[in-house]
Chain A
Amino acid sequence: MTQLILRRLATSVLILLAVSLLVFIATLLLPGDPAQAILGQQATPERLAALREQMHLNDPVWQRYLSWLGGLAVGNFGMSAASGGAVTALLGERIGASLVLLLAAAVISIPLGLLLGSYSALRKGRAGDHITTGASLVLAALPEFVIGISLITVFSTTIFPILPSVTMAPPGEAVWNYPSQLVLPTFTLVLMVTPYIARMMRATMLEVLDSGYVEMARLKGVPEGQVILRHALPHALSPVAQVIAIQLAWMAGGVVVVEFLFRYPGIGQALVDAVANRDVQVVQTLSILIAAVYIVVNLLADVVGILTNPKLRTGGAR
């Protein structure tokens, strides 16, 4: 089993390397010159040449790639072209803020999705099932900004003016010191992600409930609760884990829109700003980070799959 996980881990590292190469090439292809962008109006040929020298822009491409990669490995993401400061300093706080949002949404939506999915599978064909599947279909069909705006309309304007619609933490203070401001963005993400998890859970749960071993467990006299928890749930989880992984990964990127909507000081905002300012180092760093999130959550889903399937765990030896 460890071998299997290690092999997946090795593949993940390779994929990450490939992504870093792609990101690097993509930023090379961007029009414009970072040195020019930084200096802007004050660019004179001498200063440009000096800055180029300082930023190693004159080195061969492969050397720049390797030194950038080396920097990534030790946590040195380079200097921001727009602010002139270290990328780590610029992004550190924002990454934390985004992670808080992501984690809060994941912690709420995963159990909620699993519960709702199992509930509607168990009540298949009854009112509870119809309501859950209907509602989840509608929510899944709505784009995130529509959900976000609707939430703002309902909870922070005229109807129930109880929650703030934008995030307004004073600079330098952490977002989680103002929990009420976190509610609406988190809630939007939860509403986006939960329907997919619930629908997938319902489908796999229905399949598992129809299986021979669940019927056998019932015929063994196992109480219904234990049938669900011990015989049905573990088998239903593994395909759902893949969907959860895709959803979490989507959140890492989709958070951009939600953060923009609520003016939340996270990586989404930073990414939008960086692209506007042609801040190459920041764009590179964020792309790699988001790619890393994708890979890590998918790896976790694979591990869940391995844990719930003894065939993978023990090998096929008879």
Chain B
Amino acid sequence: MSTSVVEPPTTTKPVLSAQDLRISTTSGQEILHGVSFTLQPGKILALVGESGSGKTTAGLACLGHFRQGLKHTGGEIHLAGTGNTGSILDLPEQERRKLRGGSISYVPQDPALSLNPAMPIGRQIAEVLQVQHYGRSEEERSARVAEVLAEVGLNNSPAYQRRYPHQLSGGQQQRVGIAMAFACRPSVLVLDEPTTGLDVTTQALVLQTIAELTERHGVAGLYITHDLAVVAKIADEVVVMLSGEVVEKGPAAEVLYQPQHDYTRKLLSAVPDLAGKRQVGRVAVITGEHPVVGRESTAAAAARQQLSTPPTTDGGKLLEVTGLKLSYGKTQVLDGIDFSLAKGESMMLLGESGSGKTTLSRCIAGLNDDYKGTVRLNGEELRPGTRARTPEQRQQVQYVFQSPFSSLNPRRTICESVEVPLQMSGTLNRKQRRIRVREALDQVRLGESYLDRRPGDLSGGQRQRVAIARALVNAPQLLVCDEITSALDVSVQASIIDLLRTLQAETGMSMLFVTHNICLARHISQRMAVLQQGRIVDLGSTDEVLQRPRHEYTRELLANVPTL
């Protein structure tokens, strides 16, 4: 497939070229089916694809590293300027190791997991210099550590270098990771989703650091990501991968704005945008996920209709939170939260990690019981903690968790999992429960065939649908969705968002949508609240907040949103 695309004319010699790279599992199943790309000095190539497309496998292969259970079966990778004329994959492990960190380096996805928690950051950077024999003396190396820390915009004092990873914020940890990668002045940098999990402001800062450093030092970058908005911001060229194959490649402007392949187009249309111009809800699902609502399903249209009209005020307030406070020891996690939610309304609760958004939603659902303040549902005060609430009150508020991989019991069938809330309410017999479960699965567009399957057989998106079905069986008035799309690919995210809106229109329930992704705002909510350090700093209708943000923090977030 890749051969049909014309290679852009290149004036400089590529630093790294991968040709017809094939990798399969040790049991013989091929993961990469002949992937080729080239990296130019000072340019960034984005490797785009959804989970399971093999993009990380291809990136790690550039370093001559294969994860356990994978083996190289064909193709070559050439790295210029190392004195090796052949493919680096033919080198013995010992030689490949010498290239890593020196000529080619790697920035991991999650710095919190990839930095050694028991080693000060300064020493971790110095270690790379030491194993690569950078500089002639210890003094020269420690000077380089200080220099590279300054380059990524971190404090380089000896006291800061003695800090441990857990004493840094996520953005700082990621910049340490980048400093480590740049320490030996490599010619190629492989970045594996380095900004996933960071909020937009930190992401903007990290992206800027990467762009500056690659340009200044003429480093070739391979940027692995699923986020097309980030690609638009940073990449010079784009390679799109779908299940181990390159489906489209070319300059970023061409691929993003005149996509040739269907898959690229679908991927692009699934990206939520701040302006709300694209209708992410209408995308057909791409990854063999479940077919969603029809193109012009009336329910979806109704949901969209509802989204644009302000909620009727005669519905009254469903949820009222006043003066909610919670602290863990000395840290004040929630510092006086006041807001209310009307019947049938959907509200986005926006905040970065550590802002207290999950804690707040857990307090509302009664999963946290040591808060101060009041939570009222239909004017009736809810007692803190699910145990203290009546079964009816518990049924009225349902919760969907972030990770569908850990919120479903892997040993239970889908039917058993979805049935639990019904068993708890105890009014239906086995047969009636099964009928109700079937209805709930229908609501989330999963058929009867899923009843007796287990979570292990399901994709992430399907699992999240099951989790939503479980929340729906008792027909709640309020659905709390805690970052439910952040573990999912963009196309799956689009289908889940579409589903939620449809469900809301069908059932008339209220929804609290907790997220860190401001781009989803216009696609899901009528009103939004911005949370920072345990306080609501901005609250109003989505339009109001996005167009006339009152707080500096909201303005900063909006300014840093990457757009296509």
Contacts and interface: CB of A to CB of B under 8 A. Distances in A.
A223 B97 contact: yes
A231 B116 contact: yes
A234 B102 contact: no
A217 B164 contact: no
A215 B114 contact: yes
Nearest to B164: A310
Interface stretch (B127-135, B225-233, B443-451): B127-135
A263 interface: no
A309 interface: yes
Nearest to B98: A221
A222 B115 contact: no
B168 A318 contact: yes
A220 B105 contact: yes
A229 to B, nearest CB: 12
A219 B101 contact: yes
Contacts of B127: 217, 220, 222, 230
Interface string A207-249: 0000111011111111110100011001100000000000000
A261 B537 CA distance: 75
B164 A311 contact: yes
B538 to A, nearest CB: 25
A7 to B, nearest CB: 16
A217 B67 CA distance: 14
Interface residues of A, number: 26
B148 to A, nearest CB: 14
B101 A220 contact: yes
Contact of B114 (A216, A311, A317): A216
Interface string A296-318: 00000000000011110010111
Nearest to A238: B118
Interface residues of B, number: 31
A230 to B, nearest CB: 8
B131 A310 contact: no
Contacts of B108: 212, 215-216, 219
Given A212-B114, A308-B118, A311-B117, A223 B131 contact: yes
B20 interface: no
Contacts of A212: 108, 110, 113-114
Contacts of B97: 218, 221, 223-224
Interface string A123-166: 00000000000000000000000000000000000000000000
A311 B168 CA distance: 12
B551 interface: no
Q: Which one of A215, A223, A308 has the highest number of Cβ atoms from chain B below 10 Å of its Cβ?
A: A215
B13 to A, nearest CB: 24
Contacts of B117: 213, 235, 309-311
A218 B128 contact: no
Given A221-B128, A308-B118, A310-B118, A211 B100 contact: no
Contacts of B106: 216, 219-220
Contacts of A211: 113
Interface string B80-119: 0000000000000000011111100110101001111111
A63 B563 CA distance: 81
B169 interface: yes
Contacts of A219: 60, 63, 65, 100-101, 105-106, 108
B188 to A, nearest CB: 13
Interface string A154-185: 00000000000000000000000000000000
Nearest to A313: B164
A308 B116 CA distance: 11
Contact of A221 (B100, B119, B167, B168): B100
A221 B167 CA distance: 25
A126 to B, nearest CB: 13
B115 A213 contact: yes
Interface string B124-155: 00011001100000000000000000000000
B180 interface: yes
Given A222-B131, A310-B164, 12 more contacts: A213-B115, A216-B114, A216-B115, A218-B65, A219-B63, A220-B100, A220-B180, A221-B132, A224-B97, A230-B119, A234-B118, A314-B167
23 contacts: A212-B110, A212-B113, A213-B113, A213-B114, A213-B117, A215-B67, A215-B114, A216-B108, A216-B115, A219-B60, A220-B101, A221-B97, A221-B99, A221-B100, A223-B131, A224-B97, A230-B127, A235-B117, A308-B118, A309-B118, A310-B117, A310-B118, A316-B166
